[in-house]
Amino acid sequence: MPPSEKIKVGVLGATGTVGQRFIQLLSTHPYFVLHSLGASARSAGQTYSSVTRWKLSSPMPEIVRDMMVHECRPDVGGFDECGVVFSGLDHDVAGEIEESFRSSEIPIFSNAKNHRRDPLVPLIVPLVNSSHLSIIPQQQSLLGLKKGFILCNANCSTTGVVVPLAALEKSFGPLKTVMITTLQAISGAGYPGVSSMDIMDNVVPFIGGEEEKIEWETLKILGGIKQVEHQNQNQNQNLKNGKNETKLEFDYHQENKLKISAQCNRVPVLDGHLSCVSVEFSQNVKPTLKEIENAFKNYTSEAQELNVPSSPKRSIILHENQDRPQPRLDRDLENGACVSVGRIRECGVLDFKFICLVDNVRLGAATSSVMNAEIAVEKGYVR
Ligand SMILES: NC(=O)C1=CN([C@@H]2O[C@H](COP(=O)(O)OP(=O)(O)OC[C@H]3O[C@@H](n4cnc5c(N)ncnc54)[C@H](OP(=O)(O)O)[C@@H]3O)[C@@H](O)[C@H]2O)C=CC1
Ligand SMILES: N[C@@H](CC(=O)OP(=O)(O)O)C(=O)O
């Protein structure tokens, strides 16, 4: 259900690649209304249209053209009046800025990598693990906060891969081994990103830190949250209460010891990260090709069940043509909010292999953040 009154929202890094998608998605949103924009000191104090190199094919929304861009501080520019602030900040600065907003009781939905490993911060791909929102009250109580929290969405390539992997685990139980090779678009590196001299007529077989992120983020996202008994630090109180404390912890898929290896490449594509994925199941009786196709086709997420505004009708679109999915042809499906899957076939080394595609700036970044916020509103975490 939409909130009775639209919630004021802010965007940090509003001028950047991800920031521009935020602006586009939020300019006509049924739950949220754009209230505050932030970027670097280079842009602060000027209007949005004068400092932004707008790179989307749709025009810059009228409502932001004359809005003032502010420094990314919770005490300026009306950020303290926002119920939600989205962050598309460069990771060099995102860590401290996002913490300062959280301390000021402002919920932050971040695209940056800085807090993804934090044991109190949920790392949520909204088509997979929105149940991890349940860690937020613990984050707030340990930090003495009432409304503020940080919630991260995943690396763009991770996002594209975990949706089909979640569909396989939902139907056939834990995976044992996953091998991933990515072909990543240049917009993934922000603007201006990789030099044209480096990427034209070329493939660059290195993206700093990306392989490690895919490998551990997948474990946090696909793993569950477990309740762990901790000994109460205050022994007297412990004796008085006669019980230990229960805390929530991410299990990082440890129980099933999922092994993942990723290799990442930058290719001359504007938007859309493609991945070649091979998987091995834990169960002895392997599913058939038809069963795998059905697992992808029938996969639904909580975002779909809640029917939040940014949720796709289909989380996974299965392509039958042998030469699909392709970034240029398929990245716009479901307004960039789904994952395309195709070329499912048996693998001579592991069990099966397939290709998947995600729009790195939409589901891989801004759309996931907005969908996470919609789910958080629906579940009462944003007040
Ligand atoms: N592009 C993608 O596909 C994805 C990106 N991400 C992550 O999202 C974040 C944004 O990426 P992207 O949009 O590509 O990057 P861009 O380089 O395009 O944009 C960076 C933004 O950060 C702002 N900024 C830079 N320095 C400062 C500072 N010192 N203080 C305040 N603001 C600052 C910039 O403002 P100004 O214009 O004033 O310089 C700009 O708005 C990154 O953390 C990235 O890793 C995550 C998933 C996918
Ligand atoms: N590194 C990704 C984009 C990105 O910014 O990732 P992260 O949010 O994990 O730092 C790419 O180049 O395609």
Nearest atom in ligand 2 to the alpha carbon of residue 184 is 13
pLDDT tens for residues 146-179?
999 999 999 999 999 999 999 999 999 999 999 9
Instruction: Determine if residue 233 is left, alpha or beta; phi over 0 gives left, psi from -120 to 50 gives alpha, anything else beta.
Output: alpha
Percent of the chain having pLDDT more than 90? 93
| pLDDT (0 to 100) of residue 226 | 94
Residues 6 or more apart whose CB falls under 8 angstroms from that of 38 comprise: 10, 11, 12, 13, 14, 44, 69, 70, 71, 72, 73, 77, 79
User: How far is CA 214 from its chain centroid?
Assistant: 12
Q: Going edge to edge, which strands form the sheet with 259-266? A: 259-266, 175-184, 273-281, 352-358, 339-346, 316-318
| pLDDT (0 to 100) of residue 236 | 53
Q: Are 259 and 178 in contact (CB under 8 A)?
A: yes
Q: Is the dihedral of CA 67, 68, 71, 75 positive or negative?
A: negative
- Choose among 360, 134, 127: nearest CA to 247: 134
The reply to whether ligand 1 has any atom less than 6 angstroms from the CB of 112 is yes
Nearest CA to ligand 1 atom 2: 188
Ligand 2 pocket test, pick from 155, 161, 267 with the greatest ligand atom count within 8 Å of Cβ, gives 155
In degrees, rounded to 5, the angle at the alpha carbon of residue 303 between the alpha carbons of residues 302 and 306 is 80
The reply to whether ligand 1 has any atom less than 6 angstroms from the CB of 188 is yes
The reply to whether ligand 1 has any atom less than 6 angstroms from the CB of 88 is yes
| pLDDT (0 to 100) of residue 232 | 66
Nearest atom in ligand 1 to the alpha carbon of residue 69 is 38
Nearest atom in ligand 1 to the alpha carbon of residue 110 is 8
Calpha distance 58→55 (Å, rounded): 9
Ligand 2 centroid, distance to 339 Cα (angstroms): 17
Active site residue ranges:
156, 273
Calpha distance 92→6 (Å, rounded): 32
Nearest CA to ligand 2 atom 9: 155
Nearest atom in ligand 1 to the alpha carbon of residue 51 is 37
Ligand nearest to the CA of 274: 2
Terminal-to-terminal C-alpha distance of the chain: 14
Ligand nearest to the CA of 110: 1
The reply to whether ligand 1 has any atom less than 6 angstroms from the CB of 190 is yes
Q: Are 277 and 355 in contact (CB under 8 A)?
A: yes
Phi, psi for residue 344 in degrees, rounded to 5: -80, 130
Instruction: Give me the residues of the chain with pLDDT under 50, please.
Output: 239
Q: Are 282 and 255 in contact (CB under 8 A)?
A: no
The reply to whether ligand 1 has any atom less than 6 angstroms from the CB of 53 is no
Q: Which domains are seen in the chain, by residue range?
A: 7-155+366-378 (3.40.50.720), 156-223+254-359 (3.30.360.10)
Q: Are 87 and 150 in contact (CB under 8 A)?
A: no
Nearest CA to ligand 2 atom 2: 188
Ligand nearest to the CA of 91: 1
Interface pTM, i.e. ipTM: 0.98
